[in-house]
Structure 1
Amino acid sequence: MLPSGWTKNVLIEFNEYGLITNVSLKPNEAAQKTVGILLPSPVNVHSHSFQRAMAGLTESRGPNPTDSFWTWRKLMFRFLNQLTPEHIEKICAFVQMEMLEAGYATNVEFHYLHHQPGGTPYEQLAEMTNRIVAATLSSGIGLTILPVHYQYGGCNKSKLGEGQIRFGNTLERFSLLLEECRKSLKFLPKDSNSGLAAHSLRAVGQEDFPELVTLAGNSPMHMHLAEQVAEVEEVLEVWGKRPAEWAVENLPINSQWCLIHCTQMLPHEVKVLAATGAIVGLCPITESNLGDGIFDGLNWLKNGGTLAIGSDSNIRISLSEEIRTLEYSQRLRDKSRASLATEDKSTARRIFDEILTGGAKAANRKTGEIKVGKWADLISLDENHTNLIQAEGDTILDCFIFSSDDNMVKDVWSAGRHQVKNGQHINRENIICDYSKVIRELGELI
């Protein structure tokens, strides 16, 4: 799938760094690897890798009949107090392996678990980042690391709760942490990069945003925004505006920003935020799991907004299911079919194109197209899969997204690194062994 459309008999070459150097439509030489269906790989724009180890553990209802995101949040805080740097490294490697096997070539890690239980920094301030880097070396995924500033427990600048103190930094200490995180990237391939994140309006003081924007420079700037009703109500009560309204009026939001979730926006907020050029990072599986609400994808796209996709809590890592869940949420809300399709693009093709573009922008990564000068972030689909019999053009994507699972993914390259072969990660056995040991150990502690 080239920028010009579906094309047959194409030779793609890339250099030792993983940059595409040639796309020939009439190849006159044999390729080292022949594939039947080749797609650009989307970026996973939002992940908290450590939460993968909680998957399936919070699905029972407690004594509170209105069990919600905030109940889940309490359980998450209790869980993370058991996590060591060694645990984080093994969990992250497993998560990144699953991402690659699902078809993602890049992981944007929204990284806020910085310190020891009790909130004391590690001897190496960026110890947890170093562990994520080590995991990335094991998995081979492309990494965009986003150290997260998280200082307060609410809009009124309340102190961090017991479950939050491992996240906390003053702005001064965060700037030091950010510097150390950036240094750690020297151990990774050239395609990896960094950005910066403000956790949310609740966790950052209004007066600190200008300094955070300065620290970000030209790198990606991410933030959770308007995810939960309670968040909207708190920001409105304390700051006098709804989250999206306040952000647009008070922050220099542009295409450098990726705002995560935005499931609680009103129609006029959708229009105004779309006009800023910001990317909205949607995580439909997690948003469904937590009951966040349904993003207004139809009006967002009608207003020229840009989308990207992430796996967030990693309750389930599936590229095809994230896209499918997004589309089905629009259909259920509007009682319609093919909600995000256009006259010239099928549903899957429209969403896939959107997240390729949005993901590349959100990660500030040269990706999203099979084109000279871009990273060789590529997915090969199994052309012999039963669901692809007779499929051509955009129907290939529709079958991949709506009638199958990620088991249709055959090979994945991240910046030219061939990490998934015949549907399995090349280090799968060792990564799973290490992860299994961590889960057993955590099971004894919780």
Structure 2
Amino acid sequence: MSGQVFWAPQAWLDGRWQAEVLMQADARGHWTSFTVGRPAPEGVERLAGPVLPSLVDAHSHAFQRAFAGLAERRKAGEDDFWSWRDRMYGLALKVTPAQLRAIAAQLYVELLKGGYTQVCEFHYLQHREDGSAYPDDELALSWALADAADEAGLGLTMLPVLYAHAGFAQAALRPDQRRFATDAAWVWRAAQRLNAAGRPLLNAGVALHSLRAAHAPDIRALQALVGETALPIHIHISEQLQEVRDSLAATGRRPMQYLCDEFAPDARWHLVHATHSEPAEIAAVARAGAGVVICPGTEANLGDGLADLPGWLGAGVPLSLGSDSHVTRGWIEELRWLEYGQRLGLRQRNVAADPRGGQPSSAARLFEASLAGSAAPAGLTSWGLAPGARADFLVLDTRASGLLGVPQPALLDALVFASQGQALRDVYVAGRVRLRQGRHAGEEAIADRFAAVMAELSTGA
């Protein structure tokens, strides 16, 4: 047999557990075939537990990993998304390229431990502390992220962000947003350079920060540059009720309706958060073929609200997950939050389950939806345990807390709703092991650099 060959005692294929699975990849680290019900032949790598496909983390702001846990106190008055944002900007004004690389490397190892093997970096921290371009390379901070991803060994989709305005009615940025300033030409140039870099696990799309930060002329200018190019296009939208109110005042329409009416989004578009929606907006997004990226941990942490999960699932809109501000860094917890938020809001159980559609498991339905929605936001043509997809996968530790003794049909349910601690034993990217028994080969050195940077940022050094 040529290439790489793995044998799993069980693997999640075609939406269910199947036994004795031979998985073959080519020399590039992409799947070529799967054979079910075959005892392990000699000379193959026998995996130590059940195999799951990994997921794509479709929304990340890596620098915010250094802010996780540092905004959880309220001294006076009310605390909300907007007050959190003002405090977060204080960090954004200080981070250097070297510090960003150290922060991102720590984060990316943690994402591997959380079951993600590709991350979409919604990257708007672009310039020097005073807002001027880095003199040697205007993409210095982008390359810092790419180097961190190389060190961790996971795939990276860079999304340089168009960020031009402070609000719907504001022509300029605020002074504390000076490091974010870009236009359509800058974003397009950055995406082209990143895609031309030739790094095997790096690709790029484009992003618009939001309708308040990218106005109609900005959006149309970027659309003209992208044309029909098959790049993912991401945008924050309808995260906060204030954004909805501001959109109504400025355009006469709610954000997603305005986007669909004016800019004809298609399957390349990925609407991040989409928290506050009406049925007509969900229908418009579904007709457009766009996807949504839900970030349950961050949306809970920031008090954003609960997305209409039954509405999005019922309309067949592609769904993916994001870790966003990185208060949570694994898809197991994100899926748990996604379902539990609905249970709390609707006072029901197993909201995501669809027994009439043949899926009685909430965990399986949410996992399958997230798996099916993983490729497009990352600009990839396929994902998961399927021929042609990159050979990324997870090996479960069946002796982990919550999984021990669980019968196989309930294994995914227990993983999402009953496990705690590290339930992933091994993690592979492009056929190469990145975590072995829950540990990354470089994690101690990476953690030491991260701790040093956290000390620098806290003291102003």
TM-score using structure 2 length: 0.92
Q: Which stretch shifts more, 16-25 or 161-170? A: 16-25
1:147, 1:195 within 8 Å by CA — same for their partners in 2?
Answer: yes
1:281 aligns to what SS in structure 2? Answer: strand
Structure 2 residue 268 is matched with structure 1 residue 256? yes
CA distance in 1, matches of 2:258, 2:50: 45
Give the equivalent residue in structure 1 for 2:6: none
Deviations 1:110-149 (A, max 9, x none): 0110001121011201111111111011000011111111
Amino acid at match of 2:309: G
2:434 aligns to what SS in structure 1? Answer: strand
Give the equivalent residue in structure 2 for 1:24: 35
RMSD: 1.6
CA distance in 2, matches of 1:394, 1:280: 29
Give the equivalent residue in structure 2 for 1:48: 61
Amino acid at match of 1:149: L
Q: Which stretch shifts more, 247-256 or 26-35? A: 26-35
Task: Please give the residue correspondences for 1:175-214 in structure 2 after superposition, counting only pairs within 5 Å.
Answer: 175-183=188-196, 185-186=197-198, 188-189=199-200, 191-214=201-224
Structure 2 residue 427 is matched with structure 1 residue 412? yes
2:195, 2:202 within 8 Å by CA — same for their partners in 1?
Answer: no
Structure 2 residue 246 is matched with structure 1 residue 231? no
Task: Please give the residue correspondences for 1:259-408 in structure 2 after superposition, counting only pairs within 5 Å.
Answer: 259-343=271-355, 344-345=358-359, 346-405=361-420, 407-408=422-423
1:3, 1:369 within 8 Å by CA — same for their partners in 2?
Answer: no
Shift of 1:390: 4.0
CA distance in 2, matches of 1:322, 1:381: 18
Q: Which stretch shifts more, 368-377 or 308-317? A: 368-377
Q: Which stretch shifts more, 268-277 or 152-161? A: 268-277
1:407 aligns to what SS in structure 2? Answer: coil
CA distance in 2, matches of 1:98, 1:390: 27
Shift of 1:192: 2.8
Give the equivalent residue in structure 2 for 1:7: 18
2:165, 2:214 within 8 Å by CA — same for their partners in 1?
Answer: yes
Structure 2 residue 135 is matched with structure 1 residue 125? no
Q: Which stretch shifts more, 25-34 or 202-211? A: 25-34
Structure 2 residue 459 is matched with structure 1 residue 444? yes
2:85 aligns to what SS in structure 1? Answer: helix
Deviations 1:196-217 (A, max 9, x none): 0011001112022223124332
Structure 1's consecutive aligned runs of 4 or more residues displaced over 6 angstroms after TM superposition are none
CA distance in 2, matches of 1:171, 1:193: 18
Structure 2 residue 124 is matched with structure 1 residue 112? yes
Percentage of matched positions with identical amino acids: 34
TM-score using structure 1 length: 0.95
Structure 2 vs 1, CA of residues 78 and 4 (structure 1 numbering), >3 Å: closer, same or farther? closer
Q: Which stretch shifts more, 14-23 or 34-43? A: 14-23
1:111, 1:147 within 8 Å by CA — same for their partners in 2?
Answer: yes
1:259 aligns to what SS in structure 2? Answer: strand
CA distance in 1, matches of 2:312, 2:187: 33
CA distance in 2, matches of 1:406, 1:17: 33
Shift of 1:19: 0.3
1:101, 1:406 within 8 Å by CA — same for their partners in 2?
Answer: no
Greater RCO, 1 or 2 (C-alpha within 8 Å, sep 6+): 1
Shift of 1:353: 0.2
Shift of 1:182: 2.9
Number of residue pairs aligned between Structure 1 and Structure 2: 442
Deviations 1:23-58 (A, max 9, x none): 122256232232320011010000000000011111
